[in-house]
Chain A
Amino acid sequence: DQQVKQNSPSLSVQEGRISILNCDYTNSMFDYFLWYKKYPAEGPTFLISISSIKDKNEDGRFTVFLNKSAKHLSLHIVPSQPGDSAVYFCAASTRLKTSYDKVIFGPGTSLSVIP
């Protein structure tokens, strides 16, 4: 039973346009969400995160939106660049202060930005 879902395995976008990657979660205890970017044969690298007390977090070309009532978050990349072509993992966590806070990853969405 996947607690973090990314229903689009792949996405193609023209260079310069907006890329929107979606993520849904089922566990209402999640209170921290992260996006990781992964190139082939490399480990994921942290991209951007958002706490459940916010509905938007922006970092340069990357913006993450959180809709808690819908248990949905999205990553917007504007403008998209060819170097953004990678697999993007959505991840969710509960920030338990006294013990291991488990991070659950979605299956990933492969983004291709076409020049």
Chain B
Amino acid sequence: DGGITQSPKYLFRKEGQNVTLSCEQNLNHDAMYWYRQDPGQGLRLIYYSQIVNDFQKGDIAEGYSVSREKKESFPLTVTSAQKNPTAFYLCASRIRSTGMVGYTFGSGTRLTVV
């Protein structure tokens, strides 16, 4: 059964700590994305990767880092430099080919700073 798996579902972080959110897909999709959702706002793009070993900053990359060492995996690290990390984080993927626009999303990770 193909899909995107995000873990953990809930994550609590103390101020000043780095945390890493996992995103794994078995859809054989080329491109992967990290979005952040805040109340009353749309999904804002943090980072994206179109191929292995390559990734680009999105609209709100400050305080975040990613890696793409394998096609299936695109972990997101929320660093202590991210001033307001409490949010719902969504990972998505898609086939990178002409005409295929829609994303497949994971079920999300809710990060709370305590």
* Interface residue A115 (Cβ < 8 Å from any Cβ of B): no
A5 — nearest CB in chain B belongs to which residue?
B42
A6 — nearest CB in chain B belongs to which residue?
B42
- Type the 1/0 row for B49-86, where 1 means its CB is closer than 8 Å to any CB of A: 01000001000000000000000000000000000000
B101, A42: Cβ atoms closer than 8 Å:
no
**Interface residue count for B (Cβ, 8 Å)?**
28
**A44/B105 contact (C-beta < 8 A), A100-B31, A100-B50 known:** yes
* Interface residue B48 (Cβ < 8 Å from any Cβ of A): yes
Q: How many A-B residue pairs have CB under 8 A?
A: 56
* Interface residue A112 (Cβ < 8 Å from any Cβ of B): no
**A44/B110 contact (C-beta < 8 A), A2-B42, A9-B40, A49-B102 known:** no
* Interface residue B27 (Cβ < 8 Å from any Cβ of A): no
**Interface residue count for A (Cβ, 8 Å)?**
26
- Type the 1/0 row for A17-59, where 1 means its CB is closer than 8 Å to any CB of B: 0000000000000001010100001111110010000000000
Q: A2-B42, A32-B101, A44-B43 are in contact. List 6 more A-B contacts (CB 8 A).
A: A43-B92, A100-B31, A102-B45, A103-B101, A106-B42, A107-B42
A-side residues, CB < 8 A to B, are 2, 4, 9, 32, 34, 36, 41-46, 49, 89, 93, 95, 97, 100-108
B-side residues, CB < 8 A to A, are 4, 6, 9, 31, 35, 40-45, 48, 50, 56, 90-92, 98-99, 101-108, 110
